[in-house]
Amino acid sequence: MNLTDLVTGGVGSKAIETISKITGVSESKAKWIVAAAVPLMIAALNYNAKNKGQTENINNAIDQHSNSGILDKIGNLFGQEGDNQTGSEDGNKIVNHMFGQNTEVVAQNIADKAGLSSSQVTGVLATLAPIVMGYLGRQKQASSGGGIGDLIGSVLGGGSQQNTEPGVLGGILGSFLGGGQEEPTQERVPASTGGSMTDILGGLAGSFFDKSTDGQAKGNILDSIAGMFAK
């Protein structure tokens, strides 16, 4: 499995369908929410592990969720009483550990793009976060070792852009440079552009969290991230 499977595969499809039902947005917009939020969570975990000395804490959190069975009961996680607006306590803690002081920035910008309230998005993020950790836990159990960077690299599919489908790069560049499109474009671009998917995602996330980046640009970056994984 890789991150595309989590975003739009069996697990992602269940999340998308239920998010659409509980928020009242279209499934295409719910798909965008998942495709923007989940990779941003992965990028934040990768950044924290590298730059904040949190590798051990992140590893422990992944291990705690590896045997939770959360990926097998995802359909029951959304829409529970009280979860639509605030999410679970565990989920909120994970989100806050992932994004820190940027938690409200993430929720508000996704809300602005999706046409939801910040509290609705907060609840969605808090429900998605344990799923992400459970997914990473399953990947870790199936791996042959390595650190967080290796784990995240495997989740992102490994390799360079040259090994990704042509439409992925078009989605990134078209949305990032053209901006403003709710549905990511799938243009073909030259495959010679270098850089791993981890590096691309990290660069986009870094620009998103940059305090000098304005709201419209942040929205375009979210479109770019969503375009990497939603087809």
Q: Read off the pLDDT of residues 103-155 as tens digits, 9 standing for 90 and up.
A: 999 999 999 999 999 988 998 898 888 888 888 888 888 876 778 778 887 88
Count of the separate structural domains present in the chain = 1
Q: In terms of DSSP H, where are the helices of 67-165?
A: 83-86, 89-99, 103-114, 118-142, 148-155
Give the pLDDT mean for 42-61: 83
Q: What secondary structure letter does DSSP report for 185?
A: P
Examine the pLDDT at 38 and tell me if it is beyond 70: yes
pLDDT at 9: 81
**In which band, very low, low, confident or very high, does the pLDDT at 221 lie, cut at 50, 70 and 90?**
very high
* pLDDT value of residue 179: 37
Domain of 105?
Answer: 3-229
Task: Give tens-digit pLDDT for 142-198.
Answer: 876 778 778 887 887 643 333 333 333 333 333 333 333 343 333 322 233 446 788
Which range of 76-80, 143-147, 202-206 scores highest in mean pLDDT? It is 202-206
> pTM for this structure?
0.77
* SS3 per residue for 91-106: HHHHHHHHHHHHHHHH
Closest among 121, 129, 108 to 218, alpha carbons compared: 108
Contacts of 112 (CB under 8 A, 6+ apart): 215, 219
